[in-house]
Chain A
């Protein structure tokens, strides 16, 4: 095989490869809404997600639903993660899910972590929360969930184009 024939074949392979290569990196917004200031867990999660190769916009605590949704819109994030250790998760999640839909962000994956009683998990999911992580959750399971979500959205994007 001549060098130029070899080259040409290589180019085709390379092109196919780069077209099908989809970054597993997600852009994730982490925040706390309301008056609960326990931010140790969410800060640790921020570091873990960074170590795993994700881009994390850490927005801080004591925020309103409106601030979080506007940030999600401007940052064009794939995932929003909210941490609750104050018992107000259901009210806030209903509000945020509705506001996300109003702002055209229904595609964003909403996840919740913190001190969440088992009986609240179903109501949260009904409100539009995709996953709930409790103090018993292994952080590797959070990463696995996000990897699956990244793979699914990549597959969905491939179908559109």
Chain B
């Protein structure tokens, strides 16, 4: 990197830290696409992190997550808190393209300076979160947002990874998805710090709520103490109660220590992930070598463990 781009990044970081919208948008693009200087950008903001409360919102497609996030954001604004929203939609496994349609439900706040909304695709991570998502949340935190909302499609592994990033995870369910509730009982419900029954004006809402409460009764320990909130996101009913429930969870005993420990844990994981990415990138372009190792294993001259060990040794020694 030359001096010009280093200066550009330094300016950009400063503008992000004072909450400039355009700078935050650009910084997120740099982190998302790993454009030149992304590591420098992130290393500059790391000491400034941890001020925002990160709220994860997950649940099956169609339960009303985006509409709920829209109302949740408005309620946070009524309490004079600034909000950043990061909404993840799936990308096509075939073309890599994506339709990011969450924002269409969030236009209520789009002219409010205190709200920053960003859509992103899962970039091929089916059901998971790309490491860039954590960086994008960090940037919103660094820009001084009081609350950062991370909305994901509740499929695959994403919900577990949301819980890794978020201080409080909201799992949204809807009535009339009887089998669906059964299906997610052992899955995403377990990571929820607050459970929401949205569309609770529908006939089966009571039944869904009872199912959730019955499930919680079987739990032991702190995870049994989970609040269930009923909402109607389209009209805003119950959303103030939801914000109260999130506030209570954030203020709950041991949460402050838990937050610090989780951030520490996440940094450790980022280092491991980055190391694995590095190894994987070094494997690319070494097909010949890997093919010859595979041949050696097939002929019985070596075994997979030994081949992998020598591959790693060669990859790491060949390029410093």
Contacts and interface: CB of A to CB of B under 8 A. Distances in A.
A109 B102 CA distance: 23
B314 A53 contact: no
A8 B33 CA distance: 27
A25 interface: yes
Given A14-B285, A58-B100, A76-B28, 8 more contacts: A7-B286, A25-B96, A51-B97, A55-B100, A56-B98, A56-B99, A76-B29, A103-B22
B118 to A, nearest CB: 6
Contacts of A73: 21-22, 25
B170 to A, nearest CB: 23
- The range of chain B's interface size is 35 or more
Interface stretch (B104-112, B156-164, B246-254): B104-112
A55 B289 contact: no
Interface in B48-99: 91-92, 95-99
B111 A66 contact: yes
A50 B282 CA distance: 31
Interface of B: 2, 5, 21-22, 24-26, 28-29, 33, 36, 91-92, 95-101, 103-104, 107, 110-111, 116-119, 121, 281-282, 284-286, 288-289, 314-315, 317-319
Interface string A36-77: 000000000011011111111111100100110011011110
B21 A53 contact: no
**From B21, B99, B284, residue with most partner A Cβ within 10 Å:** B99
Contacts of A55: 91, 97-98, 100, 121
A74 B116 contact: yes
Contacts of B286: 7, 10
Given A3-B289, A59-B104, A76-B28, A71 B110 contact: yes
A120 interface: no
The majority secondary structure among interface residues of chain A is helix
Interface of A: 3-4, 6-8, 10-11, 13-14, 17-18, 23, 25, 46-47, 49-60, 63, 66-67, 70-71, 73-76, 103-104, 161
Given A10-B285, A10-B286, A57-B119, A3 B314 contact: yes
Contacts of B318: 4, 7-8, 11
A69 to B, nearest CB: 10
B95 A50 contact: yes
A78 to B, nearest CB: 10
